[in-house]
Each structure stands twice: as structure tokens, then as C-alpha cells.
């Protein structure tokens, strides 16, 4: 069976210095390998294909059969790595904390330890107020981008 850490190592070696970052690697018990990669501007099909070719050429199908898929993370997927937070800085996101409380707002000031969320708070009888809430990454269950139509 193909090991996830082996795939991670191969991908990281290949993408080093390219602007591509690894989001996730999944290997099923049936040897279906899923690799999610992205860039700050959004990954292209050609970039995914290059990663796929590199991985495909790194294994011998005569020794082990596998299915390989390389793609971008879906827009509805929660963030998996800090690069996704940086990529979405200044954009609207949904955050669910470990207690299950949901927040929506603009993602700001991403650091290695956490981020701030600029959100509107409305209290009864008062106008909406803009408030910044600070989060440490260990307080977060999920963060997802909110799609906005212009």
C-alpha cells in the first residue's frame, strides 16, 4: 500500500520553490490517492497535471496498482493549512470554534498563531457595530471561504 507520508515527501520535493503548496494527501485502503494542492492565485489544470505526472512516474504500477487524483481543494472545503488563511486574507469567511459557535466576517492579520475576524455585531436596539475577534488556530474547528457574487 502507498503511504501518505511518502506522497507528501514526493509532492513537497516537486513543488519546492514553485509557489504551489500542499493542502492534503489522502490514501484509501483501496490505494486511491487524492492530493490537494493550491497556489495563492489559484492552481491551474497544468500545475495539477505536472504534480500528477511527477507522482505517477515515481511509482511502479507493476509492483502496486493505485488510482491517483490531483486537484485543488473544493471551495466548500474547510481550510487545512495556514497558506489557505493567507490566500483568503481580506475575504469573507465562516469560522466555527471548538464550542460550535459560528462567526462570519472578513479574515485579517493572519499569523503563525491565529488570525482576526472583522465581523458585524448587532445588539438589540442598537445599530450594527464592527468588531474584531481574535482567534488562535487551536480554538478553531473549521474555517471556510464564503463565495460572493459580484
- DSSP calls for 49-118: HHHHHHHHHTS-TTT---EEEEEPPPTTSPP-SHHHHHHTTTSEEEEEETTS-EEEEEEE---SSEEEEE
Identify the bridge partners of residue 95 per DSSP, sorted by sequence position.
103, 143
Is pLDDT at 75 greater than 90 in this prediction?
no
CB atoms inside a 10 Å sphere around CB 88 = 20
pLDDT band at 143 (very low <50, low <70, confident <90, very high): very high
Q: What is the pTM of this model?
A: 0.86
- Domain coordinates of the chain in residue numbers? 4-71, 82-145
Domain 4-71 has CATH 3.30.300.70: yes
Sign, CA torsion 16/20/23/29: negative
| Residue range 16-29: mean pLDDT, rounded | 94
- What per-residue confidence (pLDDT) applies to 128? 78
Mean confidence (pLDDT) of the chain:
91
Task: State which fold the 82-145 domain adopts.
Answer: SH3 type barrels. (2.30.30)
Amino acid at each position: 500500500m502507498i503511504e501518505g507520508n511518502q506522497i507528501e515527501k514526493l509532492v513537497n520535493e516537486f513543488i519546492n520553490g514553485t509557489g504551489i503548496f500542499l493542502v492534503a494527501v489522502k490514501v484509501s485502503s483501496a490505494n486511491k490517492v487524492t492530493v490537494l494542492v493550491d497556489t495563492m492565485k489559484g492552481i491551474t489544470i497544468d500545475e495539477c497535471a505536472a504534480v500528477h505526472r511527477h507522482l505517477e512516474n515515481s511509482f511502479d504500477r507493476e509492483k502496486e496498482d493505485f488510482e491517483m487524483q490531483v486537484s485543488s481543494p473544493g471551495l466548500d472545503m474547510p481550510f487545512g493549512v495556514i497558506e489557505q488563511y493567507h490566500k483568503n486574507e481580506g475575504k469573507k469567511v465562516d469560522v466555527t470554534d471548538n464550542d460550535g459557535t459560528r462567526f462570519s466576517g472578513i479574515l485579517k492579520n493572519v499569523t503563525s498563531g491565529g488570525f482576526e475576524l472583522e465581523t458585524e455585531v448587532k445588539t438589540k436596539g442598537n445599530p450594527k457595530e464592527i468588531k474584531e475577534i481574535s482567534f488562535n488556530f487551536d480554538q478553531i474547528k473549521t474555517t471556510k471561504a464564503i463565495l460572493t457574487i459580484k
